[in-house]
Structure 1
Amino acid sequence: MTATLTAQEQTLLPLIQQWIERHREALIADLAGWIAFPGISRADQALPGAPFGAECAELLRHVLAQAQQAGFATENHDGYAGSVIYGKHPRDIGLINHLDVVPAGDNWTFPPFQLSRHGDFVIGRGVADNKGPGVMNLYLLKLIRDLNIPLHHNLRIVYGLAEETTMEDMKWYRQHAPLPEYSLVTDGMFPVNNAQKGQLTFTLRVPNAGVLAKIRAGVASNSVPAFADVAIDGVNTDKVQEKLALLQGVGASYVTLSHEQGSYRLTARGNGGHAAFPDGTLNAARVLLAGLLELELLNARERQLANFLFEWFTSPYGENAGLGLEDTQSGRLTLNAGVWHSSEPDTLTINCDIRYPVSWRGEHIVEIIEQQLANSGIQLEAGWRDVAPFYLPEDHPVISLLQQTWNDLTGRDDRPYAMGGVTHSKVLPNAITFGPGYVRTSENTPDFLPDGHGFPHGADETIHLPSLLEALPKYVIGLMRLDAWLLERNKG
């Protein structure tokens, strides 16, 4: 392919922009309808035809019905996923997306499951990850159809329902449904992603935890907790209030004491966000540990455990846990303690998430964790789950094709990127993550939200509509080029 836009591509660009302007409000209205269905994946609430719970099944039916009304063929894959198809060719190019979201959590200033608008921004759980891009995919098919853009492959959107949990949606799809020749996974950043870290999810068990067993924080292992609290009894509240006024460090501005239903509750505030992108986040559970330690509300064993956990989770990059790992292909390991709860009396349970560099393997990470926990009184539960890394070299032909498309349309000279985020690229063959996320600037970053708000997996999840819609021409040109490359390859 050439390193510049063809005459056909240049002619299309203004037509694409005009089409976007005509359909912008309809896209927003459809997104509002999707946001109204929470869509939290719950395999523990499986029903016949609804392996991830009734909520996800209802959302999928809504989306497929909307696509049918728009004139597209649809397929419901036994409730594991759904397809929307444009074209009548023997082979497919895929657009992979997920409809499920993480739980809303606390501290929202806007309603999480009602789309809100503020200027060029929309707010709601899933607007960025991944319902906003999902609606965009449906409109991408409409755009290509309306502008009569010729392709030699069908376009098949596949909507999954368990990306935020186990990815059983696409594991099932891979075994039972039509696989595209190549797919674009619309669940990342631009430009093109060629490396995704491995993901290790595991549970720490802290027996005889005393007060610590009453800590409650977080909604998912892959989300940084924004709030944490613990019930405390038998304390001199006057002394605690005096000490609160003298707190230092992370507890100084973020810990409060309240009285409710005959007991006292210590509450800590942090900054939530996605575990794989920890910059700017603050784990509220760790803030709470700092408050408990400085307020001297723990006995000797509780202090020992709290000190260990506080230090172990000090860095979101794992240095204090002996996990300061890094490689040139994918960067640094990340470590997150996402959910703190009690699964049995006097026992604290912590659900954790690690994203590790592509040159490492999950079993090696587990060995380090076991060594670190030796003699700590904290146990690593059996049943940890490992999702291996994804990696393609930068000179892979489709990586190069998509990267060149981005550079041609932006005038930049960027390279493919690595990330800690995990997408369906890990599960489906020949599935490459390409957008539609964007680098934040002063123009596309909301200035009307509290600090730490507005991110995927956090409170007041927000997306900048113009930045999302700017992805459409990149997908059109990228799909045209991928279609031509596959046609030529298959001739040989």
Structure 2
Amino acid sequence: MGDEELKQEVHQYVEDVWEDVVKDIESLVAIRSVEDMGNARPGMPYGPAPYEALSEALRIASRLGLDAHDCEGRIGYADLEGDSPKQIATIGHTDIVPEGTGWHYDPFKVTRKDGFLIGRGVLDDKGPTVLSLYAAKYFVDKVAATGRRLPYTLRCILGNNEETDMRDVEWYIENFEQPEFLFTPDADFPLICGEKGGYSATIRSGRVSDVIVDFDGGTVGNAVAGEAAAVVRASAASLPAAERIDVEEAGEGLARIVAHGIGAHASTPEGSINAIGLIVDYLLQNGLCGEGEREFLELERLVFGSTDGSTLNIAATDDLFDPLTCIGGTIRTKDGVFEQTIDSRYPKSITSDKITAEVGALCEAHHCSLTVDLDMVPFYTDPAAEGIQTLVRTYNEYTGRNDQPYTIGGGTYARHFKAGGAFGPNDPHFPMPYWVGAEHSADEGFEEAQFKRALEIYIVSIARLMELEF
């Protein structure tokens, strides 16, 4: 079959199955599959709801004709067996970040509006995961119609712990042979061939409770906090107004200060406004802190004083990656101690040890402590590799562009595998309207037309990968 005939057939297939695709996205979005380690148990290692979402994805895969397997609730996969046991694979995930605040639509019910789908996980990553399964279904139908098996086994890996620690894929790598080539539909087009290092840590204050009774902000560590609140010992009526700040009574002698920022993914903080940083500034400007609390807040000012790490003495860049980013993610009050998480995406020109040394020294100077929670070193794949070029060429054919592979600050499943990259479905060349949120944001959504095109690109790309020598 020639390229144009293949593309025409694939286009018709996508049109024929599209309403089924949307229904399956709806079934996954309806599950609030946020990690819940407090209720984890054997067979449900990340909690009942993530397991429910994984099980639903495996049911979809099985219904579509794939050979589906649940790996102790840790992760799943679904195969279309080929002539060779060598695999071409995709990997998506069914877990999500918490919904947070600020939604105008039900986060767990897909809303179709003006050609867009809205709901938590629509873009990250339940929608794209469903696309990967329907890409495989195209080949299931093709094999059934022709009786000719694919040259390689096609495997759809279904992750379940991507948004937190990626323990799912670490377990998978330890227990299964690696695919010859893999892509994850969990990023942007044209293709991501390298990712910065990922570093997260927790800053803990000394014991403080003089004026600030409670300080809580952010939903996850890998996102700029869009909302934050602090309860202080003060009269709300005596506190001044401020931009993006609301002040309200919180009981006798107490006031609640609520900040409204602009959230963003930790890897792309440009244009964001961190709500925790807004409250830090408000508390210091109005003297709403004791001496011990002031030390912590002054350190917080350094955390929120930049997003390139310059105020923490860790700014860095190199010829492969964009400059380092560093944001404050969540703050919580636990037993009279404040716990502030930080998230940094770093290039090859700096190490995690250097970051720890610099931030740790600032913490010590402010009588705080630092604990490293996660460190993933940078990775980089040769953009000239045949598999990478096959994907990018297919994307460019569908869009009329001449784009090249690039590197990012985010962390995807691709970094764990020997060959591959992160491949759409989001396309920065087609920005979304103001009322549609990005991944990890309120009103998360994506355009159906872009989803359809991505599905066509995935199917044609897989067909071409099957023709390569691995």
| TM-score, normalised relative to structure 1 | 0.89
Task: Tell me how far apart the structure 1 counterparts of residues 74 and 132 of structure 2 sit (CA, whole Å).
Answer: 19
* Inter-CA distance 275–466: structure 2 relative to 1 (3 Å threshold): same
Aligned length: 463
Task: Tell me how far apart the structure 1 counterparts of residues 363 and 42 of structure 2 sit (CA, whole Å).
Answer: 42
Q: Residue 162 of structure 2 aligns with which residue? A: 163
Does residue 299 in structure 1 map to residue 290 in structure 2?
yes
* Inter-CA distance 256–466: structure 2 relative to 1 (3 Å threshold): same
Task: Tell me how far apart the structure 2 counterparts of residues 370 and 363 of structure 1 sit (CA, whole Å).
Answer: 10
* Inter-CA distance 208–71: structure 2 relative to 1 (3 Å threshold): same
Task: Tell me how far apart the structure 2 counterparts of residues 394 and 84 of structure 1 sit (CA, whole Å).
Answer: 28
* Inter-CA distance 400–294: structure 2 relative to 1 (3 Å threshold): same
Secondary structure of 2:365's aligned partner: coil
Q: CA deviation at 1:301?
A: 4.1
Q: Which amino acid aligns with 2:453?
A: E
Secondary structure of 1:384's aligned partner: strand
Task: Tell me how far apart the structure 1 counterparts of residues 434 and 251 of structure 2 sit (CA, whole Å).
Answer: 38
Q: Residue 46 of structure 1 aligns with which residue? A: 40
Q: Residue 448 of structure 1 aligns with which residue? A: 435
Q: Which amino acid aligns with 1:275?
A: A
Q: Residue 424 of structure 1 aligns with which residue? A: 413
Does residue 477 in structure 1 map to residue 466 in structure 2?
no
Q: Deviations over 1:384-404 (max 9, x none)?
A: 321111111322332233223
Task: Tell me how far apart the structure 1 counterparts of residues 417 and 191 of structure 2 sit (CA, whole Å).
Answer: 17
Q: Residue 225 of structure 1 aligns with which residue? A: 225
Decide which of 83, 99, 102 is 2:97's aligned counterpart.
102
Secondary structure of 1:398's aligned partner: helix
Task: Tell me how far apart the structure 1 counterparts of residues 357 and 236 of structure 2 sit (CA, whole Å).
Answer: 43
Secondary structure of 2:62's aligned partner: helix
Contact 1:313-1:321 within 8 A present in 2 as well: no
Task: Tell me how far apart the structure 2 counterparts of residues 421 and 447 of structure 1 sit (CA, whole Å).
Answer: 23
Q: Which amino acid aligns with 1:412?
A: R
Task: Tell me how far apart the structure 2 counterparts of residues 474 and 76 of structure 1 sit (CA, whole Å).
Answer: 28
Q: Residue 174 of structure 1 aligns with which residue? A: 173
Q: CA deviation at 1:261?
A: 4.4
Contact 2:193-2:420 within 8 A present in 1 as well: no
Q: Residue 151 of structure 2 aligns with which residue? A: 152
* Inter-CA distance 328–385: structure 2 relative to 1 (3 Å threshold): same
Contact 1:388-1:426 within 8 A present in 2 as well: no
Q: Deviations over 1:26-76 (max 9, x none)?
A: 111111110011111234432111111111111111221222222221111
Q: CA deviation at 1:107?
A: 1.6
Task: Tell me how far apart the structure 2 counterparts of residues 48 and 164 of structure 1 sit (CA, whole Å).
Answer: 20
Q: Deviations over 1:278-328 (max 9, x none)?
A: 123211100111222233322344334323312332212211111211112
Does residue 350 in structure 1 map to residue 344 in structure 2?
no
* Inter-CA distance 52–336: structure 2 relative to 1 (3 Å threshold): same
Q: Residue 275 of structure 2 aligns with which residue? A: 284
Task: Tell me how far apart the structure 2 counterparts of residues 464 and 325 of structure 1 sit (CA, whole Å).
Answer: 36
Q: Residue 123 of structure 1 aligns with which residue? A: 118
Contact 2:303-2:327 within 8 A present in 1 as well: no
Does residue 460 in structure 1 map to residue 454 in structure 2?
no
Task: Tell me how far apart the structure 2 counterparts of residues 360 and 298 of structure 1 sit (CA, whole Å).
Answer: 35
Secondary structure of 2:2's aligned partner: helix
Q: Which amino acid aligns with 1:366?
A: T
Secondary structure of 1:415's aligned partner: coil
Q: Residue 313 of structure 2 aligns with which residue? A: 322
> Which sections of structure 2, spanning at least 5 residues, go unmatched?
none
Q: CA deviation at 1:438?
A: 1.1
Does residue 409 in structure 1 map to residue 398 in structure 2?
yes
* Inter-CA distance 88–392: structure 2 relative to 1 (3 Å threshold): closer
Contact 1:358-1:391 within 8 A present in 2 as well: no
Q: Residue 334 of structure 1 aligns with which residue? A: 325
Task: Tell me how far apart the structure 2 counterparts of residues 398 and 277 of structure 1 sit (CA, whole Å).
Answer: 27
Contact 2:82-2:154 within 8 A present in 1 as well: no
Contact 2:34-2:50 within 8 A present in 1 as well: yes
Task: Tell me how far apart the structure 2 counterparts of residues 120 and 230 of structure 1 sit (CA, whole Å).
Answer: 39
Task: Tell me how far apart the structure 1 counterparts of residues 65 and 180 of structure 2 sit (CA, whole Å).
Answer: 24
Q: Deviations over 1:247-302 (max 9, x none)?
A: 4xxxx2x1011124443211101111211111232111001112222333223443
Identity %: 28
Q: Which amino acid aligns with 1:66?
A: I
Decide which of 24, 28, 32 is 1:30's aligned counterpart.
24
Task: Tell me how far apart the structure 2 counterparts of residues 147 and 202 of structure 1 sit (CA, whole Å).
Answer: 49
Decide which of 344, 347, 364 is 2:354's aligned counterpart.
364
Contact 1:31-1:135 within 8 A present in 2 as well: yes
Higher mean alpha-carbon deviation, 114-123 vs 143-152, is at 143-152
Q: Deviations over 1:178-200 (max 9, x none)?
A: 43221111111111111100001
Q: CA deviation at 1:22?
A: 1.8
Contact 1:189-1:438 within 8 A present in 2 as well: yes
Does residue 437 in structure 1 map to residue 426 in structure 2?
yes
Task: Tell me how far apart the structure 2 counterparts of residues 304 and 176 of structure 1 sit (CA, whole Å).
Answer: 47
Higher mean alpha-carbon deviation, 160-169 vs 64-73, is at 64-73
Task: Tell me how far apart the structure 2 counterparts of residues 447 and 221 of structure 1 sit (CA, whole Å).
Answer: 25
Contact 2:435-2:443 within 8 A present in 1 as well: no
> Which sections of structure 1, spanning at least 5 residues, go unmatched?
1-6
Q: Residue 196 of structure 2 aligns with which residue? A: 197
Task: Tell me how far apart the structure 2 counterparts of residues 180 and 485 of structure 1 sit (CA, whole Å).
Answer: 14
Task: Tell me how far apart the structure 1 counterparts of residues 37 and 286 of structure 2 sit (CA, whole Å).
Answer: 41
* Inter-CA distance 47–208: structure 2 relative to 1 (3 Å threshold): closer
Q: Deviations over 1:445-485 (max 9, x none)?
A: 13435xxxx01111111111111221122222221222211
Task: Tell me how far apart the structure 2 counterparts of residues 286 and 224 of structure 1 sit (CA, whole Å).
Answer: 10
Q: Deviations over 1:340-369 (max 9, x none)?
A: 002222x11012211101343222221222
Q: Residue 308 of structure 1 aligns with which residue? A: 299
Q: Which amino acid aligns with 1:470?
A: R
Q: Residue 20 of structure 1 aligns with which residue? A: 14
Task: Tell me how far apart the structure 2 counterparts of residues 178 and 311 of structure 1 sit (CA, whole Å).
Answer: 45
Q: Residue 4 of structure 1 aligns with which residue? A: none
Secondary structure of 1:332's aligned partner: coil
Task: Tell me how far apart the structure 1 counterparts of residues 15 and 460 of structure 2 sit (CA, whole Å).
Answer: 18
